[in-house]
Structure 1
Amino acid sequence: MSTGIVTFTEQQANALIHDEWDGTGPVRLDQTVPLAELLASSVVPNARMLMAELEGAGAKLTAKGNLNRKLVVSLVDRFQWVDYDPARIWGMNKVVNEPDFTPLHYLHIVLKLGGLARTEKGFLKLTKKGKAMLADDAAGTLQVHLFRTTYTRFNPAYLDRNGLEEFFGWQMSLILYLIGQFADDWRPADALMRSVTLPSEEALKSEMPDRPVWAFESRVLRYLRWFGLMERKEAAANDDWRQPKLYRKTPLYDRMLTFVL
């Protein structure tokens, strides 16, 4: 099997596609990255902030199971999350509930899916496992755990409402391996997608050619940026706004992700 200039044996390709992310397959996730190297990411610092709010008595939930508005408002103004400016959020919403603030909604879901938080008598509380991962020296473990949860238990398509079936999840290990090979330099999303993904029937049948690229940005690149593993820039200063954004991996990518083939 050949993808771009990278050639795999059938055994290697199968190992990547069927990787369970349990440490026995090709993808190895380094849990020893210190907190200082994760402060530039969005997920770990803000997850720790939310988890601190859940310690002790926990955070009261609404009748629909969302975090209460008082806490949401507090976190909107305190979170530092790529692409989410508090002023813009307040400019679009007179009242901000949890589903209106995507980063918080995402963290609520993955903390529960990852067994770090649980609902108990109308409150969201940290579990024993969650309390252990709140320690400063557990930041690398928290990063890996939430990253693994995002791509093995969470549906990355949930937040984008693109309309396409999810067709990246089953090949995520392959995608990550190939990003490691091809994303040292800045590349537009469409070129990067062609370099690191296998064609899917859903993408090929799409009546809108840009929709699969949009899905790739929202379901793969967005989360990699949130975890501090990819960065994005405009094509060039003062260029036409319709020009595609450019992406490349960060130093943290190779620090956190290694592959054994």
Structure 2
Amino acid sequence: MIELLPVDDAEPAFEHSPLLKGALLTLEFIETNGPIGLTPSNALKRYFVEWAAEAFAWPNYTAEELYHLNKVLNEGDFMPLFMLHDLLNSLKLVRRKKGAVHITKLGKQLRSHPGALWAVLAERIFGGFNVTPYARYDVPFVGNWDVFLGVINVETHSGCTDDHLYKTLFGTRRANQEMRHVNLRSAFYVHCLRSLVWLGLLHESTVGEGLNRQRIFTKLPLWFAALRLETDTFIIERQVH
């Protein structure tokens, strides 16, 4: 069972959560500048996407990186914003009305309490928020958060690769199941590891290049401040021995 601990609004570890930063900046933008305009397809208008790309400075999705791939920026080009928009709407922190995104009463309340805002974002993701629309490929979720977090809690305590995590959770690949493992590995990264990085619970770094490139994951201070897991006892026992 995943237990989120209450975290003080002034907790420095929140600085590592691009999802919280993006949510706070979006809610602040609406309160300061008014509702954000929507296109006929209910996407955020380009003026806000361009502003958000600069203001969020989202790791691996900075304005410089986005403009390197796109001459102009639409919401679909800025994948984290695309996800954040739907996440805020599903949590009723914003609402779409008359061609624009408005902040709600709940959104105004949580904007002043980052700890509580982060908690509702985390609970929504751990509660089964579907991130498939925000992936390059159709990668349905396989597994459950209780198992994933329990294993990751132990294995990343001193840092480990995504390859190690994948093999620990799903086993080694077989020659006749190559494509299945490729898809499953992509799903595990998109649904689980990337979500934990965006929440500010894990740090992701890379080593090597090309086919030798590997992702390394380590726990961030927010992990220890916000999570209490059943496998915490295994870490204590490992440290004692």
Instruction: Tell me the TM-score normalized by structure 1.
Output: 0.79
Aligned to 2:157: 184
Cα displacement (A) at 1:260: 5.5
Aligned to 2:219: 249
Cα displacement (A) at 1:255: 1.3
AA aligned opposite 2:119: V
Aligned to 1:116: 93
Q: Which runs of 5+ in 2 are unaligned?
A: 232-241
Cα displacement (A) at 1:175: 0.9
Equivalent of residue 74 in structure 1, options 31, 34, 51: 51
Contact preservation (8 Å) 1:82, 1:226: no
Q: Deviations over 1:51-86 (max 9, x none)?
A: 112227411111110111111111111112121121
**Which region of structure 1 is more displaced relative to structure 2, 117-126 or 239-248?**
239-248
> For residues 104 and 19 of structure 2, what CA distance do their matches in structure 1 show?
19
> For residues 106 and 170 of structure 2, what CA distance do their matches in structure 1 show?
36
1:71-150 aligned at under 5 Å gives the runs 71-135=48-112, 138-150=113-125
AA aligned opposite 1:184: H
Contact preservation (8 Å) 2:82, 2:134: no
Equivalent of residue 159 in structure 1, options 113, 134, 138: 134
Change (3 A) 1:109 1:206: farther
AA aligned opposite 1:49: L
1:45 aligns with 2:21: yes
Aligned to 1:17: none
Q: Percent identity?
A: 24
Contact preservation (8 Å) 1:30, 1:257: yes
> For residues 40 and 23 of structure 2, what CA distance do their matches in structure 1 show?
23
Contact preservation (8 Å) 1:72, 1:96: yes
Change (3 A) 1:179 1:153: closer
> For residues 50 and 164 of structure 1, what CA distance do their matches in structure 2 show?
28
> For residues 122 and 248 of structure 1, what CA distance do their matches in structure 2 show?
42
Cα displacement (A) at 1:198: 5.7
Q: Deviations over 1:111-166 (max 9, x none)?
A: 0111111111111111111110000xx11111111111123252022211433432
Instruction: Tell me the TM-score normalized by structure 2.
Output: 0.85
Secondary structure of 1:72's counterpart equals: helix
> For residues 115 and 158 of structure 2, what CA distance do their matches in structure 1 show?
26
Q: Deviations over 1:5-46 (max 9, x none)?
A: xxxxxxxxxxxxxxxxxxxxx211123243432022211122
AA aligned opposite 2:203: E
Change (3 A) 1:80 1:216: same
RMSD of Structure 2 on Structure 1 (CA):
2.1
List structure 1 runs of 4+ shifted beyond 3 angstroms. Answer: none
Secondary structure of 2:179's counterpart equals: coil
1:24-39 aligned at under 5 Å gives the runs 26-35=1-10, 36-39=12-15
